[in-house]
Amino acid sequence: MKFSGLVYLATAVLALPDVSNPVPQNVLQPVQYRVAFAGKQDAAVVSWNTYGKPGYQPTVYYGTDKNQLNSKSTGDSNTYDTSTTWNHHVRIEGLESDRVYYYRVGGAPESEIYNFKTARKAGNTKEFTFAAAIDLGVMGPYGLSTKVGNGASNPLAPGEQNTMDSLLQNIDNFDFLLHPGDLAYADYWLKEELEGYIDTGVNTRDTDTLFKNGVQTYEALLNTYYQQMQHITSFKPYMVGPGNHESNCDNGGTSGYTVQTCFEGQRNFTGIINHFRMPDSESGGVGPFWYSFDYGLVHFVNFNTETDLGKYGPGPDSVGGSDNMDSGEFGEDGEQIAWLKNDLKNVDRSKTPWVIAMGHRPWYVAAKKKHRCLECQAAFEKTFNKYGVDLVLLGHRHLYNRIHPIDDKGNIDPNGLNNPKAPWYIVNGAAGHYDGLDTAKKTDEPWLAYWQDTQYGWSKFTVHNATHLTHSFVVSSDNSLLDTQTLYKSRGQAITKRQVKKDKTSAANALSIGRFVIVAFFLAFFF
Ligand SMILES: [Fe+2]
């Protein structure tokens, strides 16, 4: 099925649920569909939610013909104390790579049929495009909107389209969506209420009273976000990572509520852990925190800037960290860093010459020093440099920065984007966020190649081949492209090695066949 972005745009606008009552009439109605790559190219994960507890094992019916969904897989369900929904996850295996599959989820009532395309095998040389949106959040009246609250610095202009709209309009133009952190911004619920963005019907400005009803408001915002995203994520694999707003309990710094007073579902990445299944077990990683997967000519690595920084920590959200969120740790001491080194060391660059790493907090960014994650830099930069990571994608600050390729000693690569040795950093946290964009600071840094802080947008990457990759900032309001740049990397050695190996194998095969013919000839002659 070919789907039109415009049709789904209309659906998305109409589908925005009432934040005070986002529950469908039938609580077993599947909502919040999302698909994800499952590490291997013959597998995928289909997930969805229901507001009620289903009396059946979650099941996905699927096939390559939408009229014959003859295959089925079953999975598991989970929830947690303060959640208003159940998460269902089904892993499907035995799929063909780079192929469209149609699916519906089982149970009552039966769902509509959606489709997604499986990942390409590592080494597939076909050009492809992927999207990245970081720091996104709820759109519409309860999130990023044209309504200006106190402190909102860059609201949308009336009638201006937002990042979700833009992604929907471009949905036929990218294969999957990356989102390393700050997904729904549901933790801003109290600040949004006090600023007049949300009216939950509780007629008070008393924060303690509002706080008592906070669970419902938080969950409503979270569910609204996932439901809005369904129009993208039911079709396009959605690969996520952790940001501070999956863990924050301070409600945007409104009122001094802390991890000690916050409810369970808002703390310690509880929502993201339960809501998603990333390919962690397939890549030796941990949950949505650190994992990797291959797609065509690229090895993708998701790393966690929030916790688990080992000896370089504590991570910003860990106990004693700069944001002091009492979150994590999710692995043994130093496990993430050791995993990252091992993962990068074992990349077969003859198959996946490109290595792209995604995380949340930047260290090269046009912001005051306190907003640069120096502990993240200490933990990751040397490893990225050592193992020749081509591109590092980050967000967190709500603006767009393109950084010159730069090594771990602070040297700007003299080659620029023309075959640099050092990684190229892109910081794009300008996707949404109800409270506006951040004003760029310290813009005289020599490593800052380009910045803008007035337009919402997302990142579009096209991997043309083993040597050329193009990135553009897509302006959400009109889908125009800003700051299009192409990175060139010479792959001489890796490609040559692969070719030599291939040639050697062919030569060896030819030699074997030759030997067989000669032996057969002599046997026939003498006997
Ligand atoms: Fe963030």
| CA distance linking residue 407 with residue 458, whole number of Å | 25
**How many whole angstroms from 120 Cα to the centroid of ligand 1?**
31
Give pLDDT tens digits for 245-294: 999 887 777 766 777 778 888 999 999 999 999 999 999 999 999 999 99
Q: What pLDDT, on the 0 to 100 scale, is given for residue 348?
A: 97
In DSSP notation, 88-151 reads EEEEE-SPPTT-EEEEEE-SSSPPPPEEEEPPPPTT----EEEEE--S---BSTTSBSS---TT
**How many whole angstroms from 100 Cα to the centroid of ligand 1?**
34
Residue pair 38/282 in contact (Cβ under 8 Å)? The answer is yes
**How many whole angstroms from 445 Cα to the centroid of ligand 1?**
22
| CA distance linking residue 136 with residue 118, whole number of Å | 25
Reported confidence tier of residue 495, pLDDT bands at 50, 70, 90: low
Q: Is the pLDDT of residue 467 over 70?
A: yes
Q: Is the Cα torsion angle 463, 464, 469, 475 positive or negative in sign?
A: negative
**How many whole angstroms from 71 Cα to the centroid of ligand 1?**
40
User: 449 and 308 in one domain?
Assistant: yes
Pairing of strands 100-105, 59-63: antiparallel
More confident residue, 9 or 497: 497
Reported confidence tier of residue 3, pLDDT bands at 50, 70, 90: very low
Q: What pLDDT, on the 0 to 100 scale, is given for residue 164?
A: 96
State both tokens at 201: 């019907």
User: 474 and 497 in one domain?
Assistant: no
Q: Which of 34-38, 435-439, 474-478 has the lowest mean pLDDT?
A: 435-439
Pairing of strands 354-358, 298-302: parallel
State both tokens at 387: 């193992």
Q: Is the pLDDT of residue 29 over 60?
A: yes
User: 349 and 485 in one domain?
Assistant: yes
**How many whole angstroms from 394 Cα to the centroid of ligand 1?**
10
User: 290 and 271 in one domain?
Assistant: yes
Q: What pLDDT, on the 0 to 100 scale, is given for residue 1?
A: 29
Overall average pLDDT of the 464-493 stretch: 95
More confident residue, 33 or 141: 33
In the beta sheet, which residues pair with residue 411? Answer: none
Of all residues in the chain, what percent are helix, strand and coil, respectively (each to 5)?
25, 25, 50
| CA distance linking residue 376 with residue 359, whole number of Å | 10
Q: What pLDDT, on the 0 to 100 scale, is given for residue 522?
A: 41
Reported confidence tier of residue 523, pLDDT bands at 50, 70, 90: very low
**How many whole angstroms from 135 Cα to the centroid of ligand 1?**
7
Looking at residue 227, which CATH number applies to its domain?
Answer: 3.60.21.10
Q: Which of 109-113, 330-334, 398-402, 480-484 has the lowest mean pLDDT?
A: 109-113
| CA distance linking residue 461 with residue 469, whole number of Å | 7
Q: What pLDDT, on the 0 to 100 scale, is given for residue 286?
A: 98
**How many whole angstroms from 247 Cα to the centroid of ligand 1?**
10
Residue pair 252/191 in contact (Cβ under 8 Å)? The answer is yes
Overall average pLDDT of the 475-495 stretch: 90
Residue pair 195/258 in contact (Cβ under 8 Å)? The answer is no
User: 495 and 428 in one domain?
Assistant: no
User: 511 and 407 in one domain?
Assistant: no
State both tokens at 107: 């149970």
Q: What pLDDT, on the 0 to 100 scale, is given for residue 503?
A: 41
**How many whole angstroms from 234 Cα to the centroid of ligand 1?**
25
The neighbour count for residue 343, using CB atoms within 10 Å, is 22
Nearest C-alpha neighbor of 22 from the set 201, 227, 202: 227
| CA distance linking residue 306 with residue 109, whole number of Å | 39
**How many whole angstroms from 147 Cα to the centroid of ligand 1?**
22
User: 57 and 113 in one domain?
Assistant: yes
Reported confidence tier of residue 507, pLDDT bands at 50, 70, 90: very low
User: 278 and 145 in one domain?
Assistant: yes
State both tokens at 457: 């947008």
**How many whole angstroms from 244 Cα to the centroid of ligand 1?**
5
Q: Which helix (H) or strand (E) holds 481?
A: strand 481-488
**How many whole angstroms from 182 Cα to the centroid of ligand 1?**
5
Q: Chain-wide mean pLDDT for the chain? A: 88
- Quick one: what percent of the chain has pLDDT higher than 90? 69
**How many whole angstroms from 245 Cα to the centroid of ligand 1?**
6
How many separate domains does the chain show?
2
**How many whole angstroms from 57 Cα to the centroid of ligand 1?**
36
Amino acid identity, residue 7?
V
Q: What pLDDT, on the 0 to 100 scale, is given for residue 197?
A: 78
User: 169 and 110 in one domain?
Assistant: yes
User: 524 and 450 in one domain?
Assistant: no
Residue pair 223/32 in contact (Cβ under 8 Å)? The answer is yes
User: 359 and 508 in one domain?
Assistant: no
Residue pair 58/90 in contact (Cβ under 8 Å)? The answer is yes
Q: Which residues surround ligand 1, an ion (CB under 5 A)?
A: 182, 243-244, 396
Sheet holding 71-74, edge to edge: 71-74, 59-63, 100-105, 114-117
**How many whole angstroms from 450 Cα to the centroid of ligand 1?**
21
**How many whole angstroms from 505 Cα to the centroid of ligand 1?**
49
Q: What pLDDT, on the 0 to 100 scale, is given for residue 10?
A: 33
**Residue 136 belongs to what domain range?**
5-490
| Residue matched to tokens 């990245």 | 132
| Residue matched to tokens 């009109």 | 478
Q: Is the pLDDT of residue 108 over 80?
A: no
**How many whole angstroms from 177 Cα to the centroid of ligand 1?**
18
User: 496 and 428 in one domain?
Assistant: no
**How many whole angstroms from 396 Cα to the centroid of ligand 1?**
4
- From the number of C-beta atoms within 10 Å of its C-beta (0-12, 13-18, 19+), residue 255 rates as middle
**How many whole angstroms from 190 Cα to the centroid of ligand 1?**
18
**How many whole angstroms from 429 Cα to the centroid of ligand 1?**
8
CA-to-CA dists, residue 419 to 314, 356, 390, 447, angstroms: 35, 15, 10, 17
Length of the chain in residues, anyone?
A: 527
**How many whole angstroms from 181 Cα to the centroid of ligand 1?**
7
**How many whole angstroms from 116 Cα to the centroid of ligand 1?**
29
